[in-house]
Amino acid sequence: MTDGVTLLDDRSSPERRCRLIARVTLQILREDPDLTLCEGLRLVESAREAIERLAPASRDALLLETVPGLRRALLERFGITGDPRSGIN
């Protein structure tokens, strides 16, 4: 821990790195004032790909929790209603 901020290093678990990716992505989706829907969709896809690469052993569990939550946050931000499983990748 440095100045109250926990830094990730090479010893950090893949799952921990995945959670960091998810938290940062969610924060961007919720707070970036200039984010467009298209950029948000690409960001969700990039996070999904990174999680798949980083933690193949935990991939299914992380993706089942994380990706739908990111998609839901993006849809809520842009006022899109409907089933988030309806084909937005």
In a domain, 4, yes or no: no
CA distance 50 to 2: 26
In a domain, 89, yes or no: no
- 65 within some domain: yes
In a domain, 53, yes or no: yes
| Other residues' Cβ atoms within 10 Å of the Cβ of residue 61 | 12
With respect to residue 37, please indicate whether it lies within any of the assigned structural domains: yes
Domain interval for residue 36: 14-77
In a domain, 40, yes or no: yes
Measured N-to-C along each axis, helices 59-77 and 14-31 cross at an angle, to the nearest 10 degrees, of 10
- Indicate whether 9 pLDDT > 70: no
The structure's pTM equals 0.75
CA 50 vs. chain centroid, Å, equals: 9
Return the number of other C-beta atoms located less than 10 Å from residue 59's C-beta. 16
Instruction: Yes or no: say if 20 and 8 are a contact pair by the CB < 8 Å rule.
Output: yes
* Overall domain count for the chain: 1
The answer, yes or no, to whether residue 88 has pLDDT greater than 60, is: no
- Residue 2 included in any domain: no
Q: pLDDT tens for residues 20-62?
A: 999 999 999 999 999 999 999 999 999 999 988 988 877 777 7
